Amino acid sequence: MKLPGIINQRRHHHLGPGTVADPVAGESMFTTTKTLLNDISGEARDGEILAVLGASGSGKSTLIDALANRISKESLKGTITLNDEVLGSRMLKVISAYVMQDDLLFPMLTVEETLMFAAEFRLPRSLSKSKKKMRVQALIDQLGLRNAAKTVIGDEGHRGVSGGERRRVSIGIDIIHDPILLFLDEPTSGLDSTSAFMVVKWTSDAFAVVLRGVRASDTGKREQDRVRIGPHSGARRVPGGTKSLVEFNKSWQNMKHTPNTEPDRHGLSLKEAISASISKGKLVSGATNNDASPNSMVPTFANPFWIEMAVLSRRSVTNSRRMPELFGIRLGAVLVTGFILATMFWRLDNSPKGVQERLGFFAFAMSTTFYTCADALPVFLQERYIFMRETAYNAYRRSSYVLSHALVSLPSMIFLSFTFAAITFWAVGLDGGLSGFFFYLLIIFASFWAGISFVTFLSGIVPHVMLGYTIVVAILAYFLLFSGFFINRDRIPPYWIWFHYMSLVKYPYEAVLQNEFQDPTKCFVRGVQIFDNTPLGSVPTSVKVRLLQTLSNTLGMKITSSTCLTTGSDILQQQGITDLSKWNCLWVTVAWGFLFRILFYLSLMLGSKNKRR
């Protein structure tokens, strides 16, 4: 037995000539390439339903993914043509739709709302709201979903529609714009016999027009070998059992030997074929049939980005509003944390101990603000595959999703920031009055913004919630360690100083310290208080006064019990906070939030393309 035979091999999906388990030049035995599809050629003609049949593991899904441009280019060989013209990735996205095996839907939206949001994404702005609603209502009747139109989709914790109804909703959101080409990957997978029958019945009744007006072919040639799939092949309901199958086979054999009298449409160019489809009502996405080239006939996206943002925001708010427990948990965490801090650090004085307690309060308050942001981690992880399905065929732009995701989170951040600031500011006895409270509120909001943006970025690169929580907790602990509270900046080793400046906790921590100790006339250590944090702090006051007089005579300056020895500026100097002003710390914190949003966008561009390798 060869060693590669007992090692899990990395699979590449090839559409084109090759031999199973042929190693690719330059790859080691640990990365042997396995050919899953070899020399596959075929043709799907206009107006027909084409079914790909085969045993489990025979490559049906791989073939469909190859045809639908869902396999990365480095793992695929061959060409896909439409009316004998090479079909580009952009064109395929806008004229086709792909119904996945899994039903990826928002659980708290109703069937009607789900289809209506899909219509707002896929139908152009030029189509009125009433016409979009008419399109949705007609589709609901066509899908047989009238009785479930007002029912939520549901999930494990919320009762909703049946499995068959979920499947039909999934199909409906991908055909709302009446695409020219429709790919379905096992549309009856996981359904009981009754639900599967309803889906197949509706398919046979409604999908006969899926390819009307356009002939789609996939050609993977090896020398001159080519296999053609005959016309009119597909999934059919056979009520008469085996007798009907025998009769169907006879008619199929006769049809193969009968000359084709239908007009030859091979002469149509791609532009002419798409124009013919559009004129028959296909592709309701703002397409025109008078443009010069096929690529310019069909817009990449049906709507401008601001409409996409509005629809995405409305959908997210609607889904979240029906799950108030998620926001309630975050609000409860903020209320409990604020209450504990307010009662623990109640009315701190201006003594040296009060200063030390203030430093501890600020460090814990700022780090806790970031830790409560970890609840944002599951938000995108739960929506990831819905996002991938919708953006794979240009329902909306990734940038629209990122901006909408940020805007939707702002109201809750503002409310949580105000709640925490109102509970702790006056209860702890922080300085600055109304202007000090306003800045304290701003820096808490900026901390929430940076923290949620950081967690959102991590959700775009980690695959699982538990892994994400582990990473978030670990990194936030490092941020607190290097913030300057446990060890001053001047004492941090040079080889770790870079992490100090990358710490998200550093900037809000320094900002609130400057907000608290910015008054140069406010004194925190007077006279005998200089001995409070030393072993002499426990001696009688009279002894401290005599020690102070001795110290005064030694230094040649008059120091009395009322002499101010440490101001707020001295405390900031002792803490090593001299680099940035409090407003600059605020802007840096906000900038961190924007940086992580940009990184989140890049992670979506690079890592969420919904393509197999």
Residue with more model confidence, 64 or 237: 64
**pLDDT greater than 80 at residue 248:** no
Q: Give the pLDDT band of residue 143 (cuts 50, 70, 90).
A: confident
Calculate mean pLDDT across residues 80-100: 81
Residue 215 has pLDDT above 80, yes or no: no
List beta partners, residue 93: none
Does position 89 have pLDDT exceeding 70, yes or no? yes
pLDDT, tens digit (0-9, with 9 covering 90-100), for 302-318:
889 999 999 999 999 99
Output 425 or 525, whichever has higher pLDDT: 425
Domain with CATH 3.40.50.300 in the chain: 1-7+43-215
Average pLDDT over the chain reads 79
Over residues 40-60, mean pLDDT: 78
Residue 212: what pLDDT? Answer: 26
pLDDT at 200: 67
Over the stretch 490-511, which tens digit does the pLDDT of each residue have?
889 999 999 999 999 999 999 9
Which of the pair, 122 or 10, is modelled with greater confidence?
Answer: 122
- Residue labelled with tokens 């025998």: 246
pLDDT tier at 538, thresholds 50, 70, 90: confident
Q: Compute the average pLDDT of residues 327-341.
A: 92
Q: Are 469 and 389 contacting, i.e. CB atoms less than 8 angstroms apart?
A: no
Q: What is the CATH topology of the domain spanning 1-7+43-215?
A: Rossmann fold (3.40.50)
pTM of the model: 0.78
pLDDT bin (cut points 50, 70, 90) of residue 96 is confident
Are 456 and 596 within 8 A, CB to CB? yes
Query: Residue 211: its pLDDT value, please?
Result: 28
Are 207 and 49 contacting, i.e. CB atoms less than 8 angstroms apart?
yes
What is the rounded CA–CA span in Å between residue 220 and residue 113? 42
Highest mean pLDDT among 108-117, 210-219, 226-235, 519-528: 108-117
Q: Rounded to whole angstroms, how far apart are CA atoms 94 and 391?
A: 11
To 5 degrees, how large is the angle CA 344–CA 345–CA 350? 155
The predicted pLDDT at position 256 comes to 55
Question: Which of 64-68, 240-244, 343-347, 511-515 bottoms out in mean pLDDT, i.e. has the lowest?
Answer: 240-244
Is the distance from CB of 250 to CB of 89 less than 8 angstroms? Answer: no
Q: Which residue has the higher pLDDT, 3 or 530?
A: 530
Q: How many helices (H) and strands (E) does the chain have?
A: 21, 10
Q: How much is the pLDDT for 134? A: 92
The pLDDT value given to residue 258: 61
Whether residue 592 has pLDDT greater than 70 = yes
Please answer whether residues 106 and 112 qualify as being in contact, where contact means their C-beta atoms are separated by less than 8 angstroms.
no
- CA–CA distance, 296 with 283 (Å, rounded to integer): 14
Mean pLDDT of 272-296: 63
Vertex 287: Cα angle to 282 and 289 (nearest 5)? 90
Q: What is the DSSP string of 34-66?
A: --SEES--EEE-TT--------TTSSHHHHHHH
Give the range among 295-299, 522-526, 543-547 with minimum mean pLDDT.
295-299
Percentage of the chain lying above the pLDDT 70 cut: 79
pLDDT tens figures, 436-466: 999 999 999 999 999 999 999 999 888 888 8
The residue behind tokens 């109804």 is 165
Task: Please state which of the ranges 256-270, 397-411, 457-471, 585-599 shows the lowest mean pLDDT.
Answer: 256-270
Contacts of 259 (CB under 8 A, 6+ apart): none
- ∠149-151-152 over CA atoms, to 5°? 120
Taking only the tens place, the pLDDT of each residue in 362-377 is 999 998 899 888 888 8
Q: How high is the pLDDT of residue 112? A: 94
- Cβ contacts of residue 3 below 8 Å, gap of 6+? 29
Q: Give the pLDDT confidence score for residue 14 in this predicted structure.
A: 42
Give the per-residue pLDDT at 153: 92
Burial tier of 76 (Cβ tally within 10 Å: 0-12, 13-18, 19+): buried
Phi, psi of 479, deg, nearest 5: -60, -45
Q: What's the rounded mean pLDDT across residues 10-35?
A: 48
Tokens describing residue 315: 């959908």
Q: 3-class secondary structure for 323-366?
A: CHHHHHHHHHHHHHHHHHHHHHCCCCCCCHHHHHHHHHHHHHHH
* Confidence bin at 226 (pLDDT 50/70/90): very low
DSSP H or E stretch at residue 406: helix 398-428
Checking if the pLDDT of 34 tops 70, the result is yes
pLDDT of residue 518: 86
Query: Which of 544, 511, 345 is CA-nearest to residue 443?
Result: 511
Confidence category of residue 409, pLDDT binned at 50, 70, 90: very high
> Residues with Cβ < 8 Å from 211, sequence gap 6 or more?
44, 45, 46, 47, 48, 49, 50, 180, 181, 182
Predicted pLDDT of residue 113: 94
Closest CA to 93 of 102, 82, 106: 82
